[in-house]
Chain A
Amino acid sequence: MPDAGFCVLELQNDEVKREISICNNKIKNFNFYGIASWGNSFLIIDKNEIICSEINKYTKSSCINPMGGNAIITNNTIYGCPNPADVHEPFGDIWWSMIGLDINDTKNVLILKNIIKNCNPAIGFANWFQEDELNSIKVINNEFINNTLNFTFYNCTEADIIWGRNTLN
């Protein structure tokens, strides 16, 4: 459950895997969560335009946060905020602002052909609650533009991810 702020799409699920498609939406002017899920969801997030406009001053926030579930994230345009390096408060020992994709404890994720711009970081990978919760994570053919950090890793490493042909600017 979110603990502060406004969440545009909030998808809560129990242990039964359920599929939700989120396609062709425009999500603009938010500063907490754009799309967030809890539980064993299977999300198909395709061709959305997700534009945050300002940094949340109170807590970690992200454009897409499929926590604990499974997701196919393709063909989305994800824009953080005009000044992604303008961090107001540290979260633990990592200084975040608006995270593009918050891949924490997510079991299986395919991140393909997205444009991620002006985020900090563009993608944050994390094992929060259990070791090796991240299972199959693939990051292929994405474009990263003007992010303060492209990737952060918490309790996991770059070697845990399958990478392919991404463009880093």
Chain B
Amino acid sequence: MKKILLFSILLVLFTSCVKDEFNEPILAADSKDLVKSSSIVINVPEDYTTIQEAVNNAQDGTVIYASGTFYEYIRIENLDGIRLICKEAVLKLPDLGYYSRMVKIINCDNFEVSGFTFDCDYGQLSYIDPSLNNILSGIVTLNSSGKICNNHFKNFLR
């Protein structure tokens, strides 16, 4: 009788442990590792010809490596943890409108932009907005957090 009682108690304890294990959410550290290991890496121009195309196909935590010279404006919106990392990349103006933002980052937490050269030399552009008050920015962030490091910005003369 005692053996049966002891076995019953052990069985109850075991099942409760198993149940707790299944009910317990994944540990934070494990989930972070999971996110890290599942981060998408996109190479430009190997995977996409433009950085914007890469951004359009990115998700939270995506790392975009870019190399080359790019004539484009980039808009990044609602992506957390996105990293835009340069491997010898130069970003140049495609044109100059009234409001021109080379990189605009909206509602992104923990973003990173690093290693780029932003060259705003607009002397050779085929289109320049005739307004005297056109506004140009290298990077604009709106309600975002993150870091902007190791970049070179030049020729922002109006």
B156 touches A13 (CB 8 A): no
Give CA–CA (A169, B94) in the complex, Å. Answer: 44
B149 touches A24 (CB 8 A): yes
> In A53-82, which residues have CB < 8 Å from any B CB?
53-54, 56
Give CA–CA (A19, B60) in the complex, Å. Answer: 18
* Partner-contacting stretch, out of A25-33, A134-142, A152-160: A25-33
How many B residues touch A, CB cutoff 8 Å? 29
B138 touches A9 (CB 8 A): yes
A25 touches B150 (CB 8 A): yes
Interface membership of B142, Cβ < 8 A: yes
Interface membership of A162, Cβ < 8 A: no
When A20-B148, A21-B148, A24-B149 are in contact, do A6 and B143 touch as well, CB less than 8 Å? no
Give CA–CA (A16, B145) in the complex, Å. Answer: 11
Shortest C-beta distance, A39 to chain B (Å), equals: 8
* Chain B residues within an 8 Å CB radius of A16: 143
Give CA–CA (A14, B141) in the complex, Å. Answer: 11
Interface membership of A5, Cβ < 8 A: yes
Give CA–CA (A54, B136) in the complex, Å. Answer: 17
Interface membership of B19, Cβ < 8 A: no
Report the nearest B residue to A11, measured CB to CB. Answer: B141
* Chain B residues within an 8 Å CB radius of A168: none
A29 touches B141 (CB 8 A): no
Interface membership of A166, Cβ < 8 A: no
Give CA–CA (A137, B118) in the complex, Å. Answer: 32
* Chain A residues within an 8 Å CB radius of B151: 25-26
A10 touches B156 (CB 8 A): no
Interface membership of A88, Cβ < 8 A: no
22 A–B contacts, CB within 8 A, in A order: A4-B135, A6-B120, A6-B156, A7-B137, A8-B153, A10-B140, A18-B144, A20-B144, A21-B146, A21-B149, A24-B150, A25-B148, A25-B153, A26-B153, A27-B153, A28-B152, A28-B153, A28-B154, A30-B153, A30-B156, A54-B157, A56-B158
Chain A to chain B: the 8 pairs with minimum beta-carbon distance, closest first: A30-B156, A21-B147, A18-B145, A6-B136, A6-B156, A23-B149, A10-B140, A8-B138
